[in-house]
């Protein structure tokens, strides 16, 4: 993990986080928040925030894609959702006694700014609008996690895989053709099924002309049919 000090004058000029902050707090308050901020680069597979560990900071993700990973008492992994930059990571910890309730892991090289959690709390307690803006920056993760759990609870494997492919195309890669950052095992943890189920389903979708699979590259050929599978479950 590489760490570099941030020059606020140069690196934060066009930052969405700074722009959002400055809607509700002064420049002095922003400088207070960022005076101890460092920027870090995370390699693929590196843990950004670890489940069960005390949180000392939030992470504003500048570049890259991450997975929200929960490990149960039997050491079984479940991917709650996938998120891409720019986004604010770890805000749920403010409501959970500063302990990470899940892990956030880079699934490709990522870059983010570490923001002091205690300083964030000080500003939030004194400025409701600031806190609301920070919550808005983090709600995407909770929304997509809820939809994923609904899919897991009510749909068969075909419907779950269809939901995931649609979500990735629309919200993560923003293209119907993409190179998948997730392994087949990670797809299985995301869909709540076995790796074999994932491989079999992708092959069937490919054979039926719904998608085209070539290694890690996936192209959604017939988006309408994929949506029908998603709706039928």
pLDDT tens sequence across 97-119: 678 888 999 999 999 999 898 89
Higher-pLDDT residue of 15 and 104 is 104
**Which of 107, 140, 173 lies at the terminal end of a domain, its last residue?**
140
**13 and 121 both lie in a single domain:** yes
Residue 117 lies in a domain: yes
Cα(68)–Cα(142) distance, rounded to whole angstroms? 10
The domain spanning residue 178 has which CATH number?
A: 1.10.10.10
Higher-pLDDT residue of 18 and 178 is 178
Polymer length in residues for the chain: 233
Percent of the chain with pLDDT over 90: 48
**pTM summary value:** 0.86
**106 and 161 both lie in a single domain:** no
- DSSP category for residue 66: E
Q: What is the pLDDT of residue 86?
A: 87
The strand order across the sheet containing 47-49 reads: 47-49, 103-106, 65-71, 77-84
**130 and 16 both lie in a single domain:** yes
Name the 3-class secondary structure at 184.
Answer: helix
- What is the tally of structural domains in the chain? 2
**100 and 165 both lie in a single domain:** no
- Name the pLDDT band for 95 (thresholds 50, 70, 90): low
HEC readout, 155-172: CCHHHHHHHHHHHHHHHH
At 118-164, the pLDDT tens digits run 898 888 888 888 888 887 777 766 666 667 666 666 789 999 999 99
Higher-pLDDT residue of 185 and 34 is 185
The domain spanning residue 118 has which CATH number?
A: 2.60.120.10
Instruction: Give how far the C-alpha of residue 93 lies from the chain's centroid of Cα atoms, to the nearest Å.
Output: 15
**Which of 140, 173, 202 lies at the terminal end of a domain, its last residue?**
140
**120 and 23 both lie in a single domain:** yes
Do the beta carbons of residue 48 and residue 42 sit within 8 Å? yes
Q: What is the pLDDT of residue 8?
A: 46
**Which of 91, 115, 140 lies at the terminal end of a domain, its last residue?**
140
**17 and 120 both lie in a single domain:** yes
Cα(230)–Cα(233) distance, rounded to whole angstroms? 5
Take residue 112 and report the two structure tokens written for it. Answer: 């983010």
**121 and 159 both lie in a single domain:** no
Take residue 213 and report the two structure tokens written for it. Answer: 């699979």
117-126 and 128-154 helices, crossing angle to 10°: 110
Q: Is the pLDDT of residue 96 over 80?
A: no
Question: For the chain, how long is the longest CA-to-CA vector?
Answer: 59
Sequence-ordered list of residues with C-beta below 8 angstroms from that of 157, at least 6 positions apart, any chain = 191, 193, 197, 198, 201
Higher-pLDDT residue of 58 and 143 is 58
Do the beta carbons of residue 31 and residue 40 sit within 8 Å? no
Phi, psi of 152 (to 5 degrees): -65, -35
Higher-pLDDT residue of 127 and 225 is 225
């Amino acid at each position: 993990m590489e760490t570099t000090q941030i020059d606020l004058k140069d690196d934060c000029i066009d930052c969405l986080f700074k722009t959002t902050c400055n809607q509700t707090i002064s420049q002095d308050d922003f400088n207070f928040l960022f005076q101890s901020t460092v920027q870090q680069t995370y390699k693929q597979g590196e843990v950004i925030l670890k489940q069960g560990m005390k949180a000392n900071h939030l992470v504003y993700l500048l570049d890259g894609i991450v997975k929200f990973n929960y490990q149960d008492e039997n050491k079984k992994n479940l991917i709650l959702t996938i998120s891409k930059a720019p986004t604010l990571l770890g805000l749920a910890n403010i409501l959970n006694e500063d302990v990470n309730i899940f892990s956030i892991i880079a699934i490709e090289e990522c870059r983010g700014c570490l923001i002091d959690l205690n300083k964030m709390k000080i500003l939030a307690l004194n400025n409701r609008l600031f806190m609301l803006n920070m919550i808005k920056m983090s709600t995407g993760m909770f929304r997509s996690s809820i939809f994923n759990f609904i899919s897991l609870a009510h749909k068969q494997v075909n419907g779950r895989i269809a939901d995931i492919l649609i979500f990735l195309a629309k919200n993560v890669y923003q293209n119907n053709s993409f190179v998948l950052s997730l392994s087949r095992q990670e797809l299985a943890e995301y869909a709540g099924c076995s790796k074999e189920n994932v491989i079999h389903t992708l092959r069937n979708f490919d054979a039926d002309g719904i998608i085209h699979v070539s290694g890690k590259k996936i192209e959604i050929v017939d988006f309408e049919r994929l949506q029908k599978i998603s709706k039928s479950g």
